Amino acid sequence: MKLYVTFTSPYSRLARIMVLEKGLDDRVEVIGAKTRAKDSPYYQINPSGRVPYLVTDAGGKPTNLQVSGAQLGIPIVVPTPGAVVVATPPVGALVPTPALVEPILPAPEVLSYVTQQVVQPVLVDGEVMVGASLPAAVPVYPIPASPYVYSYVNGQRVVVEPTARRIVYVVR
């Protein structure tokens, strides 16, 4: 099997850890994928350019690798009730129904505050996106003079509605 990764991706890191923990390092060849580069040969293998990406020896269509953070003791971003799971791409991505969460546009001072704070990052399983709910294990921090809180998940700072712990804004 071939596991395509970028070595700075937290998702790729989880996939590599899973390969080692499951004792599959003799069966899985880890290959550094060059993403975000025009004319990269990786796009011939995976047109979406996402990592990690696992190609099995059995052939067939390559699929995105899903790593279970729960097996590694890592908090997981879980879908809210009413979320829809889609099959392509990425496989198993969570897409909230449009009426579920109304995204917000935080004030510039809120974004400035959130990006300047030094907090411990948390790795979670799943795509960090508006509408996803953070489990209780993920710490959140207050934002002065704001009804929202924030967290630092998978290298992305997010603004969160504190009662339901739903992500309402992803700082990019």
Cα separation, 142 vs 145, whole angstroms: 9
Where in the sequence is the domain holding 8, given as residue range(s)?
A: 2-67
Same domain, 99 and 153: yes
Question: Judging by beta carbons within 10 Å of its beta carbon (0-12, 13-18, 19+), is residue 19 exposed, middle or buried?
Answer: buried
Same domain, 91 and 33: no
Start-to-end C-alpha separation, the chain: 34
Same domain, 138 and 161: yes
Same domain, 16 and 101: no
pLDDT at position 65, please? 45
pLDDT at position 57, please? 64
Final residue in a domain of this structure, among 18, 41, 67: 67
Same domain, 88 and 51: no
Chain centroid to CA 93:
9
pLDDT at position 62, please? 47
User: How many structural domains is the chain composed of?
Assistant: 2
Q: Which two structure tokens, joined as six digits, stand for 47?
A: 């047109």
Same domain, 161 and 81: yes
- CA distances in angstroms from 62 to 17, 126, 135, listed in the order given: 20, 19, 31
pLDDT at position 58, please? 58
- CA distances in angstroms from 144 to 16, 44, 114, 119, 120, listed in the order given: 39, 47, 10, 16, 19
pLDDT at position 38, please? 79
Final residue in a domain of this structure, among 67, 88, 122: 67
pLDDT at position 27, please? 82
pLDDT at position 114, please? 94
Cα separation, 101 vs 119, whole angstroms: 26
Same domain, 49 and 79: no
Same domain, 54 and 123: no
Final residue in a domain of this structure, among 67, 97, 119: 67
The answer to whether 138 and 75 have CB atoms below 8 angstroms apart is yes
Q: Going residue by residue through the chain (172 aa), what tens digit of pLDDT does each one get?
A: 788 888 888 888 888 888 887 787 888 888 898 888 878 888 787 777 888 877 766 555 544 444 444 444 433 444 445 544 333 233 223 334 333 556 688 999 999 999 999 988 887 777 788 888 887 788 899 999 999 999 988 888 999 999 988 888 988 8
Same domain, 58 and 130: no
pLDDT at position 123, please? 79
Same domain, 135 and 62: no
Q: Residue 51 belongs to a domain with what CATH number?
A: 3.40.30.10
Give the three-state DSSP class for 132: coil
Cα separation, 91 vs 100, whole angstroms: 21
Same domain, 39 and 120: no
pLDDT at position 112, please? 93
Same domain, 80 and 147: yes
